[in-house]
Amino acid sequence: MADHPLLTGLLDGPDLEDAVVLGDETLATDAVRRAAFAFATILPDEGPVAVHAVPRPETVVAVLGCLLAGVPAVPVPPDAGPGEVRHVLRDSGATAWVGQRPDWVGLPVLPVQLDGAGGGTVAPPRADATGLILYTSGTTGAPKGVELSQGAIAAGLDGLAEAWQWSPEDTLVHGLPLFHTHGLVLGVLGPLRNGARLRHTGSPKPERYAATPGSMYFGVPTVWSRVARDVESARELRRARLLVSGSAPLPAPVFDAVRELTGLAPIERYGMTETMITLSARADGERRPGWVGLPVDGAQTRIRDESGGAVPADGESMGRLEVRGPMLFSGYLGRPRTSADSFTSDGWFVTGDLAARDAQGFHRIVGRESVDLIKSGGYRLGAGEVETSLLARPEVAEVAVVGESDPDLGQRVVAWVVPDGPGGDAVAERLVAHVAEELSWHKRPREVRFVESLPRNAMGKVQKKQLG
């Protein structure tokens, strides 16, 4: 089925006995292929299919089966609470569930057979068929479903394969979650499309990376800062070809420490759920701490000032980063207006990031325009969704959630609360647990600060920059 828009490497690439290792399971290419086809043949015509994205082979096989059949897959974060799961199921209109199903989810469960005889086949989908719907946070409101077509995913992965010289000789090692672009799209579909190997370590702990031989390692900056603090583990990574960092800024001291300990200058790359990865340092090129490299094949960037004029490519002047290319998303599911508003009238996606570019085309990300989009441990979360969750608690009269700089997480979620009644540690713990349970563990505030009042301007809008 060579004409599949995305899974050519899996279908026509080399047959590896150990293509995918996830925790303690090893799957050959042929076993993955057969199990994915077996799953594809039991799929309902109408999707999407919600996949409880635990780091297990069943998650990979279910996503691949959906892609083979052209039925969109919606990865559900395994640490998400009922509030978030209900939102994702309702918003996506999922018709079936894969994995361990909470009893309150009223969807039919689709079984995944890993050792099934497999076989069977399905017609390949069109390149513009939606492959994945990835839920990601905005500055306000609940997460939106980002629709990525199979063709866009393929274009984005091919851009990275060219920049990183990704080949069947490579073995990728990472332990990133399988419900976001970094871990699932780059981290699973990437090796499979390139006919290469994958080793998933369950969680991205430095000692697990050190214990897993490979040629490429993916991590968010928090992972690399922990590698840099674990000298024993870092030294083990000397054997690698590429160490890749993304999802949040890689602090220059971490870049330097990793280079010092491993002999490898990290490859930093930049992207978004909506755009795949658009900028990256190259395997055959310069790597500069604090810079995210050049546009990958197919991607174009534009940096404009407030009045819409071009910003000089002097490496200093900064402006709003806009991107376009074949790897961009199709839109936010069910939100045509929001989708249209995220593009300029001449078709460029407005990233919401501020950037600068130098004469060689090297880009650096200066920061986000909105304080309400927080990146903690590489996870994107919106201040608004956490504030809404906390305001549902009787102990909270007013709240402002901010991302405060943190040496390990990049930013840490801090909730400033005007309590209704006494504050105190017990209340703070209850509030943190509420967000962890209702939204997700990784969106929980790391700290709750009780205050008499919140700084507001004449319009009554909270002045977040005065907090912290």
Footprint of ligand AMP on 132-161 (CB under 6 A): 136
Q: Are strands 349-357 and 319-324 parallel, antiparallel or unpaired?
A: antiparallel
Element (H, E) at 150: helix 150-164
Residue 247 near residue 220 (C-beta atoms within 8 A): yes
Report in angstroms how near the CB of residue 122 gets to ligand AMP at its nearest.
Answer: 30
Residue 449 near residue 356 (C-beta atoms within 8 A): no
Residue nearest to ligand MCA (CB): 377
Angstrom distance (rounded) from CA 58 to CA 98 = 8
Report in angstroms how near the CB of residue 176 gets to ligand AMP at its nearest.
Answer: 12
Nearer residue to ligand MCA within complex by CB, 190 or 378: 378
Report in angstroms how near the CB of residue 115 gets to ligand MCA at its nearest.
Answer: 29
Residue 282's alpha-carbon distances to 33, 158, 239, 333, 413, in angstroms, are 31, 13, 19, 33, 33
**Exactly one of 29, 171, 351, 440 binds ligand AMP (CB under 6 A); which one?**
351
Residue 268 near residue 287 (C-beta atoms within 8 A): yes
Report in angstroms how near the CB of residue 120 gets to ligand MCA at its nearest.
Answer: 33
Burial of 407 (0-12, 13-18, 19+ CB in 10 A): exposed
Residue 251: count of CB within 10 angstroms of its CB: 17
Q: Are strands 363-368 and 349-357 parallel, antiparallel or unpaired?
A: antiparallel
Total of residues contacting ligand AMP (CB under 6 A): 19
If binding is defined by CB under 6 A, does position 380 make contact with ligand AMP?
yes
Please provide residue 82's backbone torsions phi and psi, each rounded to the nearest 5 degrees. -55, -40
Report in angstroms how near the CB of residue 220 gets to ligand MCA at its nearest.
Answer: 5
- Interior angle at CA 185, CA 281 and CA 250, nearest 5: 40
If binding is defined by CB under 6 A, does position 249 make contact with ligand AMP?
yes
Nearer residue to ligand AMP within complex by CB, 250 or 415: 250
Stretch that binds ligand AMP, among 93-101, 111-119, 246-254, 455-463 (CB under 6 A): 246-254
Nearer residue to ligand AMP within complex by CB, 352 or 423: 352
Report in angstroms how near the CB of residue 247 gets to ligand AMP at its nearest.
Answer: 5
> Residue 368 binds which entry of ligand MCA, ligand AMP, none, with Cβ cut-offs from 5 to 8 Å by kind?
ligand AMP
> Residue 278 binds which entry of ligand MCA, ligand AMP, none, with Cβ cut-offs from 5 to 8 Å by kind?
none
- Interior angle at CA 128, CA 114 and CA 272, nearest 5: 80
Residue 431's alpha-carbon distances to 169, 372, 400, 416, in angstroms, are 49, 19, 13, 11
Nearer residue to ligand AMP within complex by CB, 105 or 189: 189
> Residue 292 binds which entry of ligand MCA, ligand AMP, none, with Cβ cut-offs from 5 to 8 Å by kind?
ligand AMP
Footprint of ligand AMP on 275-294 (CB under 6 A): 292
Q: Strand, coil or helix: what is 336?
A: helix
**Exactly one of 147, 158, 170, 268 binds ligand AMP (CB under 6 A); which one?**
268
Residue showing tokens 């004449």: 458
Report in angstroms how near the CB of residue 187 gets to ligand MCA at its nearest.
Answer: 9
298, 299, 304, 309 alpha-carbon torsion, rounded to 10°: 0
**Exactly one of 11, 73, 153, 272 binds ligand AMP (CB under 6 A); which one?**
272
> Residue 176 binds which entry of ligand AMP, ligand MCA, none, with Cβ cut-offs from 5 to 8 Å by kind?
ligand MCA
Residue 23 near residue 56 (C-beta atoms within 8 A): yes
Angstrom distance (rounded) from CA 408 to CA 74 = 30
Angstrom distance (rounded) from CA 276 to CA 279 = 9
If binding is defined by CB under 6 A, does position 321 make contact with ligand AMP?
no
> Residue 377 binds which entry of ligand AMP, ligand MCA, none, with Cβ cut-offs from 5 to 8 Å by kind?
ligand MCA
**Exactly one of 368, 412, 434, 464 binds ligand AMP (CB under 6 A); which one?**
368
Angstrom distance (rounded) from CA 76 to CA 69 = 19
- Sign for the CA dihedral angle at 225, 78, 137, 192 comes to positive
> Residue 441 binds which entry of ligand AMP, ligand MCA, none, with Cβ cut-offs from 5 to 8 Å by kind?
ligand MCA
Given the rule CB under 6 A, which residues bind ligand MCA? Answer: 79, 176-177, 180-183, 204, 220, 222-223, 246-247, 271-273, 377-380, 441-442
Binding-site ranges for ligand AMP (CB under 6 A): 136, 181, 246-249, 268, 270-273, 292, 351-353, 365, 368, 375, 380
